[in-house]
Structure 1
Amino acid sequence: MRTRTYYIYLIDEDVAKYYHGRERMFHDLFHQYVHVSGKMRKIISRQIHYITNPIPMLTLYQIIKNAFSNQWDYVNQTGSYQLSIKNDRDFIEVTIEKQYVRLDVYGSLDAESIFFEGIRAFNGYLFAIDFDNHKFGWIRPIKERKYV
Structure 2
Amino acid sequence: MRHYELYIFEEDVARQYYGQESKLFYLFLEHEKARGPQKEILRKQIEYITKPIPSLFLQQKLKQDLLKLEGYKKKKNTHVIDISDRDSKAELVIGSDALYLTADGSFDVETMFFEILRKCEPTFFAFTIEEHRYGWLKPMKQEDLLRTTQV
**Is residue 84–residue 92 contact of structure 1 (8 Å, CA) maintained in 2?**
yes
Unaligned stretches of 5+ residues in structure 2: none
Superposed displacement of residue 76, structure 1: 2.3
SS in 2 for 1:84: strand
Aligned counterpart, 1:19? 17
Q: Report what 1:44 is aligned to.
A: 42
Q: Secondary structure at the match of 1:95?
A: strand
- Residue 65 of structure 1: CA displacement? 1.6
Return the offset for 1:90: 1.1
Aligned residues between the structures: 144
Letter in 2 for 1:9: Y
Tell me the CA shift for residue 75 of structure 1. Answer: 2.1
Distance 1:61 1:103 in 2: 14
How far the C-alpha of 1:109 sits from its partner, in A, is 1.7
What is the TM-score normalised by the length of structure 1? Answer: 0.90
Aligned to 1:75: 73
Deviation (angstroms), 1:86 = 1.1
Which position in structure 2 is the counterpart of 1:86? 82
Unpaired runs of 5+ residues, structure 1, are none
> Residue type of the partner of 2:133?
K
Q: 2 CA distance for matches of 1:139 and 1:24?
A: 15
User: Structure 1, residues 16-41: CA drift from partner, whole Å, max 9, x if none?
Assistant: 01111100011000011011111110
Partner SS state of residue 64, structure 1:
helix
Work out the CA distance in 1 between the residues paired with 2:130 and 2:70.
27
Match of 1:119 in 2: 117
Amino acid at match of 2:81: I
Moved over 4 A (4+): none
Q: Which residue type is aligned with residue 136 of structure 1?
A: Y
Is the 2:25–2:127 contact (alpha carbons within 8 Å) kept by the matching residues of 1?
A: yes
The 8 Å contact of residues 81 and 95 in structure 1, kept in 2 or not, is answered as yes
Larger relative helix fraction? 2
Instruction: Determine helix, strand or coil for the equivalent of 1:108.
Output: coil
Matched residue SS, 1:29: helix
Q: Percent identity over the alignment? A: 32
Q: Which has the higher contact order (CA 8 A, sep 6+)?
A: 1
Cα separation, 2, equivalents of 1:68 and 1:76: 10
* CA root-mean-square deviation: 1.6
Deviation at 1:51, TM superposition (A): 0.4
Give the counterpart letter for 2:18 in structure 1: H
Distance in 1 between residues matched to 2:70 and 2:91, nearest whole Å: 12
